[in-house]
């Protein structure tokens, strides 16, 4: 300390013009606008949401790629399904969850904004002789009542929370659930790999994840449960072409040189390979937040174990 230097009392520091400290003495949780924060994070994210046309072109490959995913069993294991229940599956895709759920409940209504996803679901349901799934072609923003959708015992939205107006979506799914709501949302960089973006020389920011969803629910008076669904770190593919196809979905307008760079990245991540199979170790294993709550007969929400 220099001779003659004078220290200020700690309670006076915040009053100095050039202080590095911030006065939070009057701030509370109620001053946080999670919707605005989420909008800011959406503007910075390093990836783009796929529109209905893009999902149309991926319906069949998506159905095949996800059929054996460990995610399905993890999600289903937490649903309190009963034979007399009805389930509303929002963002159903090709029936990843709707098909196995339909075998355990009275009926399922599958909603998706991709017509090809629903066509694929209907084909798969026919092949398995599942006749209790009703498909509805509409989006989060549409008038569900006008489309004939009624409240169901359980409403689910699996990996389908990438909407612009999250608050409105959460209010809607809650309104269309009679007993339970189950939804899953991203944690951190899931389902992306930062290393893959770096290999292609593309910038990456993960954007908003489940913590925004959880806090917006809190502002709505919904005190939800949260469980982490951790997926496997090592994934096997039948060929390098399949592995590249699985990774390339992360990128829009990928160029041939970028495809080559992506294949090189996957090769570096490959831990074993033979004529029929190669196993890739993901640098960032996917983790999904399973967020759920139970509604009581008065319409309020409570966090309880199903």
DSSP letter at 30 equals: G
pLDDT of residue 171: 97
pLDDT of residue 214: 96
pLDDT of residue 290: 98
Intervals of the chain under pLDDT 70 = 1-24, 46-68, 297-306
* 29-to-7, 26, 32 alpha-carbon distances in Å: 33, 10, 6
Element (H, E) at 294: strand 287-295
Q: Supply the angle between the helices 166-175 and 210-219 in degrees, to the nearest 10.
A: 60
Strand, helix or coil for residue 191:
coil
Residue 192: alpha-carbon gap to chain centroid: 12
**Tokens at residue 266, please?**
């996957």
Catalogue all structural domains in the chain, each as residue range(s) with its CATH number: 33-233+283-302 (3.40.50.150), 235-281 (no CATH)
**Tokens at residue 150, please?**
């009624």
160 and 91 Cβ atoms separated by less than 8 Å: yes
126-135, long-range: CB < 8 A, 24+ apart: 128/99, 130/99, 130/102, 130/103, 132/102, 132/105, 132/106, 132/107, 132/108, 133/95, 133/98, 133/99, 133/102, 133/107, 133/108, 133/109, 134/107, 134/108, 134/109, 134/110, 135/92, 135/109, 135/110, 135/111
């Amino acid at each position: 300390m220099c001779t003659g230097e004078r220290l200020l009392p700690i309670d006076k520091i915040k009053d100095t013009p050039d202080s590095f400290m911030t006065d939070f003495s009057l701030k509370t949780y109620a001053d946080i606008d999670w919707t605005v924060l989420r909008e800011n994070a959406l503007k910075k994210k390093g990836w783009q949401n796929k529109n209905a046309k893009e999902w149309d072109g991926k319906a069949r490959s998506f159905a095949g790629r996800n059929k054996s995913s460990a995610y399905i069993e993890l999600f289903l294991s937490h649903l309190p399904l009963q034979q007399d229940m009805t389930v509303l599956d929002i963002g159903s895709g090709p029936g990843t969850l709707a098909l196995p759920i339909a075998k355990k409940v009275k009926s399922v209504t599958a909603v998706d904004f991709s017509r090809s996803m629903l066509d694929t679901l209907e084909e798969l349901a026919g092949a398995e002789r599942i006749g209790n799934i009703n498909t509805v072609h509409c989006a989060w923003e549409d008038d569900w009542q006008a489309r004939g959708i009624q409240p169901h015992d359980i409403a689910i939205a699996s990996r389908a929370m990438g909407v612009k107006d999250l608050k409105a979506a959460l209010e809607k799914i809650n309104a269309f659930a009679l007993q339970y709501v189950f939804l899953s949302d991203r944690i951190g960089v899931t389902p992306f790999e930062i290393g893959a973006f770096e290999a292609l020389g593309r910038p990456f920011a993960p954007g908003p994840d489940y913590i925004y969803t959880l806090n917006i629910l809190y502002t709505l008076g919904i005190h939800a449960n949260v469980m982490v669904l951790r997926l496997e770190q090592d994934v096997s593919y039948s060929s390098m072409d399949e592995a590249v196809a699985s990774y390339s979905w992360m990128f829009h307008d990928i160029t041939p040189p970028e495809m080559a760079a992506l294949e090189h990245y996957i090769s570096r991540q490959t831990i074993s390979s033979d004529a029929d199979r190669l196993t890739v170790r993901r640098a960032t294993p996917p983790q999904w937040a399973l967020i759920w709550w139970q509604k009581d007969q008065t319409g309020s929400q409570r966090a309880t174990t199903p």
